[in-house]
Amino acid sequence: MRTLLKVLAGLLALVVVGYLGVNLVAVIGAHQQRGDIAERVSAELESAVPAALDRHQELVDAAGRDADVAWVEQVCDFATDDGGWIVQNYREVCTLRSVSAWQVGSDVEARGLLTVSGDQQAAYDGCERLGTIGEAEVSHVDVDASSDGEPSCLRLLRPVGETHPVAGEPTESWSGRWVVVRDEQPLVDEDIGCAHWSVLFCDNPFGDEHAFGDVPG
């Protein structure tokens, strides 16, 4: 019996060592991969940030006046590839997000501020989609017309995921009417795999630390 217990203890020790070893390798690999992805994001930002600032300036020129609020930010979030209800793989998804907004005094001013294309949608709860400029969404927002004081299209300006500032500062002080242009450009969408701390299930190997890039100087 004593010999059997020793054998079982040895087998259990091997399982624990193997469990820790596999996950330690995953942690080390994730640290390296996060650094590699951050370098890729930094490289993408070298061209994406100037392009975003150029598009903002084009909007300013088209509107004939500076935006009242404008900012650019990196947004990173963890997406998953699922099999049924079970996560099979994690992905790091990062975008460059630009917002330019002008305060306006009327519906007429809102619709005449910028020349847009695409379909317009009727106003609902303070939000009206005016169309697009390139790939950017253009909305007319009337905060006072919203039933709860916060139109749903303003909630879109607080993206899911974590953000890092690039230029300008976001505002929470929305009141009155606005024309808002929201532009999102992809930076990376990379598989990061799984860790297996929970043995059976796929855990995020990056934990809660995103691979943000360095903003070009």
What confidence tens digit (pLDDT) does each residue in 126-163 have?
999 999 999 999 999 999 888 887 898 888 888 888 99
> Cα 15–30–24 angle (5° rounding)?
25
pLDDT tens digits for range 83-105: 777 888 899 999 999 999 999 99
- CA torsion sign for 185, 191, 197, 200 is positive
**Res 8 pLDDT > 90:** no
- Asked whether the predicted pLDDT for residue 77 surpasses 90, the reply is yes
Q: Mean pLDDT across the chain, nearest whole number?
A: 86
Bridge partners (DSSP) of residue 163 are 75
The amino acid at residue 185 is Q
* pLDDT over 90 percentage in the chain: 56
Closest to 138 measured CA to CA, from 117, 122, 152: 117
Instruction: Give the CA angle between residues 36, 41, 42 to the nearest 5°.
Output: 95
Residues 6+ apart with CB under 8 A from 160: 77
AA letter at 69: V
Dihedral angle sign, alpha carbons of residues 52, 54, 59, 64: positive
Pair of tokens at residue 154: 């303003």
